[in-house]
Structure 1
Amino acid sequence: AKRNGNTLWWVKLSNSGDTLKLLVPNYSRKVISGWTNYSCTEIIQKIFEKIMGYRGSKSDFNMKSVKEQRVDGSLWIKQIHVRCTLMGFERNYQINNPSKQLNIKNFSTLQPQPKLNPWLVTGLIDAEGSFIISINRKKELKLGWFVRSIFSIGFHKRDLSLLLQLQQFFGGIGSITLTQNMVLYSVAGIKDLTTIIIPHFENFPLLTQKAADFILFKRVVILMSNKDHLTIEGLHQIINIKASINLGLSDILKSEFREVSSVERILIITNKIPNPNWVSGFVTGEGNFDVRFSKSKNRLGLQTRLRFRIKQHDRDLKLMELLIKYLGTGTIEKDPRFPAVYLIIEKFSDITKIIIPFFDKYPLLGIKLFDYLDWCKIAKLMNEKSHLTIAGLNFILKIKAGMNKGRKITKI
């Protein structure tokens, strides 16, 4: 097949009328390592919907917000390979958000990864996931209200491949929606929730206060699986439960259902970190690796400092303290502006002897892995005292400029 004069190898998929494009890098270095012009970024080939015979369904779920710096995908280190992405079954193709039509489909050269560790998945959801009960007007229905239970997780659109990995972990269920700069993986089918999503979190429990949302969410899913949401009594039960989940009831629901009796929301008490992979998943979502410079009396006039941080709502202060005990280092700082706390590690010896060995053994995912690898480069330069030279400092400044929000990658 040809597009813009370039030949693409393709193969027919057994479960779809569409084709899987296998893209081979142009340069010999890419063939050897799987890298693009910038080390560790994906190679993206954009395919128009009309070329792919697009048949995705519409979604009425609008994603409102997503956290910072989520960017491009995944990498495979220490092995020679060609990478490609499987999008799952045809029913799980990326779907359009009705608020903004998409003009392209995206296929990357990401090799299907080994199945994610289940504790890593739970850590990732503890950081970024949501359990949502949606209740909206729908006049066509007998009760006039449409109820949905939605499990979701969102990132910046450049971390699409991370969501594809997550979808693959859950057996291809759910859908991935792109809108503006955000990408959302969501599962709303009651059968999928009861047979796959809920059992996962029963076997690998959440550790943050988000676990309380999950417990209430599960009660609603059970009610819906029994069709109770189609009765006025069941609808009222669900509204009472929703009042205790996340931000509670909307103003519209409060005005329409005045006699609401919110159910009790339990306090989650976590006594131990069950698995180191949970930490990797949690840090993939909530962690930050940064480089700071301060004035110094040394001959360069600048002091270089590395910092590792995890930000979390202050309701999970006890969990952050437990994490410090688990890692064997760190301090807690409260955010004076918001109800949030930071776990902070700045001591260079702890960074090189504890943090780096930990994440080398239990790797991060997505763009956070790229930031971590650049952070490690700077740690190595500092260990060699290169940061005390003009050339070394300039090199560190260059690396820092390309980290976090400064990272430039191929657009989706």
Structure 2
Amino acid sequence: MLRVNGSCQVGGVSRLKYSLIGFVRNYIGKILYKQINKAIFYSTVNKTREFTINPWFLTGFSDAESCFSIKINKDQNYSTGWAVGLVFHIGLHKKDLALLESIKKFLGVGKIYYVEDMIFYRVQSIKDLEIIINHFDNYSLITQKHSDCLLFKMAFDLIKNKEHLTIEGLKKLIAIKASLNLGLSEELKKAFPTIVTVLRPVVVNQTIPDPQWVAGFTSGEGCFFINIFNSKTKIGFGTKLSFQITQHSRDEQLMKSLIVYFGCGSYTKRKEGLAGDFRVTKFEDIFIKIIPFFQRHQLIGEKIQDFQDWCKCADLIKAKRHLTEEGLEETRKLKARMNKGRK
């Protein structure tokens, strides 16, 4: 089962990034629980750059990158025969350590772990998870991930009231888990074959609440592209910029609302139907609307470097320097170090 996980550019062509559901953002859910126990706990011995986190930025970024998980594993040390736990986590490439450290500092809870080239911010105690839930009560998610959050909150209330320590309460928890992420493992399905899945809550309000939500969501899901193509110019090449956010088709209405929000762009559904792209390609819209917006409401993390290089290329185009050999070479250097090319 595939999950759309943004997009990237390969050879000048925009391609979807897919991940198995339960692998990257749900990484801890099925694969990482064993690894996380062997992972290196990160403690801020060496100072990293700190970012100021706005609460709406955190919600937008969580709409893009976070995951809510329920753990249920066999354990004879418990009267029900099963151990349960909740985890809120955000997983990024280790280059974004400073961003996760800033989120951890803002919330005041959680720990950070390394697993190979990935780094995870993880919150799991009931006391600490109450802070996470309170944040999203006050600054609500607006993608379909809001449904996951509501299910997670149901599970949290159940565990906080210690209902999970009874077979009846455990079954309620399993019914909630059945609607979350990958659903139930084969082991749980076999052990509890009569469980009736809790219906996923319907996300109704997808109104963009604040510019900082957009900055946070774009820091997670946005892409800034430079496309160099053959043309009839004197140097034989032209340059085109594009700004893109790719999201699962279940959030199509939210993506379409970005057209109204920015006053530009278009939405195109992918042929396979799993996802769609909000895209801005008109240079005037990029220069007058998109760039000033993100200069006022700044991106955070590694993506800010892509945006800065993209802006430099926009300045080259505005001054028509991209039509000179020197400008073309500069454009190529900017493109080469953006997105996947950045070390």
Partner of 1:180: 116
Report the alpha carbon displacement of residue 264 of structure 1 after superposing the two structures with TM.
1.5
Residues 358 and 392 of structure 1: CA distance in aligned 2, closer, same or farther (over 3 Å) = same
More helix by share: 2
Structure 1, gaps ≥5 residues long:
1-62, 68-95
Structure 1 CA distance, aligned partners of 2:184 and 2:93?
27
Question: Is residue 2:95 matched to residue 1:191?
Answer: no
2:199 pairs, out of 264, 280, 285, with: 264
Report the alpha carbon displacement of residue 253 of structure 1 after superposing the two structures with TM.
1.1
Preserved CA contact (<8 Å) 2:56 2:213: yes
Preserved CA contact (<8 Å) 1:127 1:286: yes
Preserved CA contact (<8 Å) 1:270 1:319: no
Preserved CA contact (<8 Å) 1:212 1:268: yes
Structure 2 CA distance, aligned partners of 1:100 and 1:362?
35
Partner amino acid for 1:120?
F
The equivalences for 1:92-171 within 5 A come to 97-99=36-38, 107-114=45-52, 116-171=53-108
String of CA shifts for 1:201-227, please: whole Å, max 9, x gaps. 011000001001111110100010011
Preserved CA contact (<8 Å) 1:66 1:156: no
Partner of 2:181: 246
Question: Is residue 2:291 matched to residue 1:356?
Answer: yes
Q: Give me the TM-score of the superposition, normalised by structure 1.
A: 0.73
Structure 1 CA distance, aligned partners of 2:186 and 2:307?
42
Structure 1 CA distance, aligned partners of 2:132 and 2:286?
35
Give secondary structure in 2 for the equivalent of 1:399. Answer: helix
The equivalences for 1:3-402 within 5 A come to 64-65=23-24, 97-99=36-38, 107-114=45-52, 116-171=53-108, 173-194=109-130, 196-337=131-272, 339-402=274-337
Structure 2 CA distance, aligned partners of 1:166 and 1:190?
19
String of CA shifts for 1:260-298, please: whole Å, max 9, x gaps. 101111221235211000000000000001111222111
4+ aligned runs moved over 3 Å, structure 1: 96-102, 104-114
Query: Which range is displaced more, 289-298 or 391-400?
Result: 289-298
Cα RMSD after superposing both structures: 1.8
Q: Give me the TM-score of the superposition, normalised by structure 2.
A: 0.87
Partner amino acid for 2:71?
S
Residues 271 and 112 of structure 1: CA distance in aligned 2, closer, same or farther (over 3 Å) = closer
Structure 2, gaps ≥5 residues long:
1-21, 27-34
Give secondary structure in 2 for the equivalent of 1:366. Answer: coil
Preserved CA contact (<8 Å) 1:125 1:282: yes
Preserved CA contact (<8 Å) 1:324 1:331: yes
Residues 107 and 354 of structure 1: CA distance in aligned 2, closer, same or farther (over 3 Å) = farther
Preserved CA contact (<8 Å) 1:126 1:208: yes
Give secondary structure in 2 for the equivalent of 1:369. Answer: helix
Report the alpha carbon displacement of residue 405 of structure 1 after superposing the two structures with TM.
1.1
Structure ID, larger Rg: 1
Report the alpha carbon displacement of residue 249 of structure 1 after superposing the two structures with TM.
1.1
Report the alpha carbon displacement of residue 143 of structure 1 after superposing the two structures with TM.
1.3
Compare relative contact order (CA 8 Å, sep 6+) and give the higher one, 1 or 2: 2
**Percent same amino acid among aligned pairs?**
44
String of CA shifts for 1:73-119, please: whole Å, max 9, x gaps. xxxxxxxxxxxxxxxxxxxxxxx9344568x97755545444x1100
Preserved CA contact (<8 Å) 1:66 1:182: no
Structure 1 CA distance, aligned partners of 2:173 and 2:112?
26
Report the alpha carbon displacement of residue 168 of structure 1 after superposing the two structures with TM.
0.4
Report the alpha carbon displacement of residue 365 of structure 1 after superposing the two structures with TM.
0.5
The number of equivalent residue pairs is: 314
Give secondary structure in 2 for the equivalent of 1:376. Answer: helix
Structure 2 CA distance, aligned partners of 1:243 and 1:399?
46
